[in-house]
Structure formats: structure tokens, C-alpha cells
Amino acid sequence: MTDTTLSPITSETPSGAPAKSKSLYAIDDLTRKRNAAEKRFKAYGIGAIAIGLFFLVVLAVSIISEGIPAFTKTVVSVDFTLTQEQFDEAEGTLFKTKAYEGIFVNALQGQLEASGVSVPFDNATIERIVGKPGGTIREFFQANPDKLGEPVQFELAASSRVDGYMNGRVTRENMTDSRFLMKADLDLVDKLTESGIIKTVFNWNFITGADSGVDNPGGAGIGASVVGSFFMMLVVLFLALPIGVAASIYLEEFAPQNKLTDLIEVNISNLAAVPSIVFGILGLAVFIQFMHLPQSAPLVGGLVLTLMTLPTIIISTRASLKAVPPSIRDAALGVGASKMQAIFHHVLPLAMPGILTGTIIGLAQALGETAPLLLIGMVGFVARGYPDGVVSGFVDPNSAMPAQIYTWAARADYAFYEKAWGGIIVLLVFLLTMNILAVILRRRFERRW
Amino acid sequence: MNQMLNTERANNMTDSKISANKVQVYYGDTHAIKDVDIEIQPRSVTAFIGPSGCGKSTFLRTLNRMNDTIDICRVEGSIKIDGEDIYDPKVDPVQLRAKVGMVFQKPNPFPKSIYDNIAYGPRIHGLARSKSDLDDIVASSLQKAGLWEEVKNRLDEPGTGMSGGQQQRLCIARAIAVSPEVILMDEPCSALDPIATAKVEELIDELRENYTIVIVTHSMQQAARVSQRTAFFHLGILVEEGPTEDIFTNPKDKRTQDYITGRFG
């Protein structure tokens, strides 16, 4: 195309006549480019969401598949009758629990034979499968002497390897003989399972119990730390919400705009970004070393998490106060409401959904926080005598769910690893509940207006 | 001599409801209102007209101290209502605003029921002793605002669900409910269609019997229709004030003449 070829065409068109209009069916280059860019952008977005969903599914599947075994446990259930004579006799011997163990083994053998199975086994095998049952039995009959002579069903927790064998973690191929479990013991386990003596039951203890020692993963539960987390959340809710909302109302509605309030504003925004471990060390220095509040207590944990949550609540509350149209304030002031009446009667109710959402997001953040708790001593521990006394209040030593999970994940026995995953499931259930609560509350408040 | 003149003038004007004397308003360093003197007559409609940004709304808001909510705003001079200086430190703006009600440019009902919208003012001022008292106030306010027939069967529906014109009349009813003596209206019809505007104008004309009304408006026709006196503001100065008829037919100032004939603004 050159000017020479173009010129005859232009000369043909009479001067001043409109140029031939373009067809709507032909898509020109610029439009095509624009459409392509739009399509590309949509594809990026869908890709990003797909990747996100994929990882979410992977996470959910792995958490659930790893964590489910924590909710079941393997028990050896034995019907057992101890007569008064056997009790007296056992109490008379030097190794009392050993004597009870002997009686237990006899009872077990009897029960096996009754169901027509005979496998030879000795006390050592039983010890490898259920630990040392003698102590448990003795404690029970000492506490309940009236049960002597009656049949009592004992459900003794199987050892962690037997538990692993039952849920497929330990197999004959991958295990090596050790003082914890021999390959030969598995024959007995199989027979006991067949005759219904060893069975898998739902592990209520995991949900209600406290942490156990490192040698007893079967007895570890997250219940105590759930209580601990609950008390901490109470402290956070009752401190952070009123303080945060009051501070935001003052800053947003009453405070004069000057250098000082600017400085405060900048600092609040900065505080929201401070790593949580810094709050932990602050709590250690101020609440424990300076104010001498008890160590490991939910009260202190709650105070530290309150400091951490406050900026989140203040920022979201201020944003939702700002979002209330100024015409509502004018309307209230115009009919002679005082500034405080205008805020409390009209502005605050309108800002409520936003405030609630911010608060619950802050609480959820606090619920999942581990680092500051490690510094103030709220790590997992063996709570003896749970639930009485130990974890009942704000100042009794306790742990929190994420700290408990961290402690379990750090322990050697594989069974604790399962507990950690199980703990994560419990934690996620709590977070999900809180978020659903937030959505419901939001809906309710929004519907009112 | 000057002193004497002033006293004489004050005596002549004792029957005015609001009297402003040498009012200055500053926004930070900006001098928004300069030397405004005006007497507003009771039980009449006074219209403030002028081009955008001339300070008429600002001056209106000084009359019930709505400017107090703006940090950088400063008012000098004296504004007296019934001879009482409203900027006296003894005066509580809350009491003042009960006496001088306000209707805003955009209808701004509370996001509550129609009933609660009206009842809010009487409630916070303790005007009703009982539930039936309050019902009476709500009914009579809505009647005065000409809204009663339209809403009497749906008082518990949200005020925000009504049409724009109804919302604005609801806001007027809300202002009436606290029995003010003065009602300030800041371009009350600028967000309304002509039919709703006509209704509101009719209402303003009826309210004149009992209330002193000051209305800011962009529409000169509206000022001519509803007001008895008109004040023309330009660049923060009160250029001319007088009976509406005189302002529109026989303006004394060149600027007023230019404005009402549409030569600027």
C-alpha cells in the first residue's frame, strides 16, 4: 500500500461526504487485543483460585487422614472378677502390682479359652501390649472395695505400637522386634482382636483429657488446653472488645486532629504488625517478672493476647465507624441529640456488624497464636488430677490448644504426631465455629437496619 | 453618634426572631463569612440565595451551631435568638438545637421505623410522659408534615424504605416533633423531583404559621415561591436583604441583579 494506490480512492469520494461506516461484524485489531487481554486476566484469576482450592483440599485431606487416628484408641477389654480372698492375698505379697498382674493374665487366658482360642503367652507379652495393668486394677479395687467379688469390665488402653498396628501405622513388615513390641506378639493381638477383647473405640479421653507424660501417648488429651484456650478467649473478649471499641470511638469521634493523635494512629497501625513473640516477651517482662502474676496462667496468656488483638479491633472498629454516613450524625445532632447520644444511638448500631467481624477475626487470630504463649510458660504439661484444681480457673497453670499441638509435634513417639494432627482438627473446628458465629451475628445485625 | 444609631436600630428590631451582628466565620485561615448582619422575622420564611460556595449554607449552620462539629471552624460576632446570644459559653448547643431544628439537603432518616424516626427527638428531650403522649406527638408531627395519611398504617416500616420526597417530609416531621421555634432547611428539595418539591414547598408555606423558617436554596423560583424575605449572598458577603418581591423585581445591587437575571452563578 502506498499513497499512489490510496489517492485514487480518496479522489473518488466526494469531499465532505462521511467515510464509509465500519461493519459491526468485523472485529478490529484494537478490540481483539482488548478482548484477549480480558480473557487472559480472567484465566489468571481462575488459575489463582484453582491453585488455592487445590492446596485447601490437599491440606484438608492430609489433616483429616493424619488426625483421625487421634480420635480412636485401641483398648483391651477384659471381664474380671476379683474375690475378697484374692485381694487380701495380693495385698499380702511383696510385689503387689505383680500379683494383680498375675490374676489379670489368668483372667485373660480364661476368657480366651472360653471363646475357643488358645495362644500361649506370658506376663511380658501382656506388659508389651497393655503396659502394666496391675497398678490400674489395684487402684480401682482399693477405691471401690464394694466391687470385690463382682464381675467388672476393664478397658485398658493398649500400648502405642499396638494402637499403631490396629490403625495400620505399624505392620509386620516395617516393625522390628524391640522391648516395646515383638513380631510374635502380633499373633496374640490378632487372636484377641478376633475374639473381641482388643477393639477400637472412640477416644473420649482425647477430647476431654489432659496432656500425659512422654511415655504415655495413649492417655494424652486436648481437653485441658481447650479449657485453657477458652479462659484466655474470655479474658481477651472482656478486655480487648470494650477497650478497643472505647479507644476507637474516642479517636474517631471525639479526639481533636493534631500531632499527638496522628502519632497514636501511626503507632496503632504499627502495633498490628509487631511479631507476636514480641508481645510474649513483653508479657513475660511486665506481667510475670514485674507484676508477679502467676506463670503459665490463662489470665496472663489472655492479657498478652489482648495486647496483640487490640490493634486489630481498633483498626476494624475505626474503619466501620468511618463507614457510617455523616448524614446520620447530622440527623441526630439536628434533632438535639448530644454527641454521645448520636454515637451510641445511631452510629454504633450501624457500625456493629463491622465491629463484630473485626473482633471475631482478632479472637480467631489470638486463638491460633503460639509464640507468645511459649514465653510465658503456657506449654503442654502433665496435668495431674484433671479436671479438679489444675485447670479450673484463670490463674491455675494451663496450656492452650496451639501450644499443646506444638508440644506434641516436638515429641518422639509417632503416636504424639497423630495427636498433633488431631489437635489441629479440634482447633480448626473451634475456628470454624467462631467464623460461622461471626457470619450469623453479622447477618442478624444487618437485617435490623 | 454611631452608638446611638445602633441602639435605635436594635430597638426597631426587637420583634425579629434571629438577629445576627457582624458575624465572621473562619475555616482555618479561610475567611468564609464576612460581616453578615441580618434580622430574621418570626413566623415567616426567609430564603438565602446565591451561587455555590457563597457561604449561605455555612451561615445557616452557624444559626444552630452545627459548625461546632467541624474542628477548624471559628465563629465571631453575635447571633441572638430572642435576644439571647447563642454563642454565649452558658449556652448548651444541645438545647439550642432543640429550639432550632434542621432539615438537610439529602433526606437522612434514621435506619429505623417511621415511628422511631419521629419519636427519637421527643424521647431524648423527655417531651412525652407516657406511651400515649408519644403516640400523640408522632401523629401530630406527621399530620403537620402532611405525611399522616400516607404512612398511618405502616408506622413500623423502615423510614429508609420510603420515596425521596416522603423521606424528606419525614425529616421535616422529625424536626417538628421536638417543637422547635425555628426550622433551618439546607436545600431541602435539591434531591427531589418536581412533584415532591411542590409538596415540600406547600408544606413549608403551611409551617410558616407556627415556625420561623430559614431556607437555603439554589432555585430562585423556589425562593420566589415560598419566601417572604430573601437574602442574597455572594463570596461570603450578604449583598442584599429585603422583601422577596423587591429583591426579584427591583434589586438595589448590581450583583443581585446579575445573579437573578442569570448573568452569573
| Largest interatomic CA distance in chain B | 64
Q: Which of B64, B104, B158 sits opposite A327 (nearest CB)?
A: B104
- B251/A contact by beta carbon, under 8 A: no
pLDDT number for residue A390? 53
For residue B111, which residues of chain A lie inside 8 Å, CB to CB?
A: 328, 350, 449
Q: Which CATH number fits domain B16-89+183-265: 3.20.20.80, 3.20.20.70, 3.40.50.510, 3.40.50.300?
A: 3.40.50.300
CB B123 within 8 A of CB B115: no
Considering chain B, what is the average pLDDT of its residues? 88
- B119/A contact by beta carbon, under 8 A: no
Minimal Cα–Cα distance from A347 to chain B, Å? 10
- Of the residues A335, A340, A448, the best mutation for testing chain B's interface (the one with the most B CB atoms within 10 Å of its CB) is A335
B94 contacts A336? CB cut-off 8 A? yes
Distance of CA B30 to the CA centre of its chain: 24
Burial A275-309 (b: 16+ CB within 10 A, else e): ebeebbebbbeebbeeeebbebbbbbbbbbbbbbb
Helix A298-322 to helix A223-249 angle, to the nearest 10 degrees?
A: 40
pLDDT number for residue A76? 83
Interface of A with B (CB under 8 A): 256-257, 325, 327-339, 341, 345-346, 350, 449
* Segments of chain B assigned to CATH 3.40.50.300: 16-89+183-265
pLDDT number for residue B238? 92
pLDDT number for residue A245? 94
What pairing do the DSSP bridges indicate for beta strands B18-27 and B73-81?
antiparallel
Residue B35, C-alpha cell as written in the block = 460581616
pLDDT number for residue B173? 93
A336 contacts B125? CB cut-off 8 A? yes
Residue B163 sits at the vertex; the CA angle it makes with B162 and B166, to the nearest 5 degrees, is: 80
pLDDT number for residue A43? 97
Q: How far from A224 is each of A157, A160, A371, A396, A413, CA to CA, in Å?
A: 20, 21, 19, 11, 21
For the residues of A354-408, what is the DSSP string, one character each? HHHHHHHHHHHHHHT--HHHHHTT------TTTTSSSSSSSSS----HHHHHHHH
pLDDT number for residue A313? 94
What residues have CB less than 8 Å from A237, skipping those under 6 apart?
A359, A363
Residues B49 and B217: their CA atoms lie apart, in Å, by: 6
- What is the per-residue pLDDT across A148-190, written as a single tens digit (0 to 9) for each? 878 888 878 787 778 888 877 778 877 777 777 777 778 788 8
Q: What are phi and psi of A78, to 5 degrees?
A: -125, 130
pLDDT number for residue A109? 80
ipTM over 0.90: no
Residue B192, C-alpha cell as written in the block = 427531589
A256 contacts B94? CB cut-off 8 A? no
Q: Which of A336, A338, A346 sits opposite B178 (nearest CB)?
A: A336
pLDDT number for residue B243? 93
B94 contacts A335? CB cut-off 8 A? no
Minimal Cα–Cα distance from B43 to chain A, Å? 20
What residues have CB less than 8 Å from A426, skipping those under 6 apart?
A207, A222, A226, A401
CB B29 within 8 A of CB B213: no
- Give average pLDDT by consecutive 10-residue segment, chain A, 449 residues: 46 57 86 95 97 96 88 83 81 80 81 74 78 78 81 80 80 77 79 81 83 75 86 93 94 89 92 91 92 87 93 94 91 91 92 89 90 83 53 77 89 84 92 88 71
For residue A324, give the nearest of A356, A349, A341 by alpha carbon: A349
B101 contacts A335? CB cut-off 8 A? yes
Query: Alpha-carbon dihedral of residues A245, A248, A252, A258, nearest 10 degrees?
Result: 150
For residue B178, which residues of chain A lie inside 8 Å, CB to CB?
A: 335-336
Considering chain A, what is the average pLDDT of its residues? 83
Question: What are A292-295's contacts with CB under 8 Å, separation 24+?
Answer: A293/A395, A294/A395, A294/A397, A295/A376, A295/A377, A295/A397
- B190/A contact by beta carbon, under 8 A: no
Burial B167-204 (b: 16+ CB within 10 A, else e): bbbbbbbbbbbbbbbbbbbbbbbebbeeebbebbbebb
What residues have CB less than 8 Å from B219, skipping those under 6 apart?
B189
Q: Tell me which amino acid residue B117 is.
A: N
The model carries a pTM of: 0.78
B66 contacts A334? CB cut-off 8 A? yes
Architecture of domain A223-445: Orthogonal Bundle (1.10)
- B174/A contact by beta carbon, under 8 A: yes
- In the numeric block, the cell 492446596 is attached to A55
Q: Which of B66, B69, B110 sits opposite A346 (nearest CB)?
A: B110
Q: What is the SS3 assignment for A83?
A: coil
Pick the residue from chain A with its C-alpha nearest to B107: A327
- B171/A contact by beta carbon, under 8 A: yes
- Predicted confidence (pLDDT) at residue B220 exceeds the cutoff of 50: yes
Q: What is the SS3 assignment for A318?
A: helix
Pick the residue from chain B with its C-alpha nearest to A347: B110
Helix B114-125 to helix B164-177 angle, to the nearest 10 degrees?
A: 20
Q: How many residues does chain A have?
A: 449
- What is the per-residue pLDDT across B227-246, written as a single tens digit (0 to 9) for each? 999 999 999 999 999 999 99
Pick the residue from chain B with its C-alpha nearest to A256: B71
Q: Which of A256, A257, A336 sits opposite B98 (nearest CB)?
A: A336
pLDDT number for residue B8? 43
Per-residue pLDDT band at B217 (split at 50, 70, 90): very high
Task: Name the residue ranges covered by the structural domains of chain A.
Answer: 76-201, 223-445
3-state helix, strand, coil in chain A (%, to 5): 65, 5, 30
For residue B106, which residues of chain A lie inside 8 Å, CB to CB?
A: 327
CB B160 within 8 A of CB B168: no
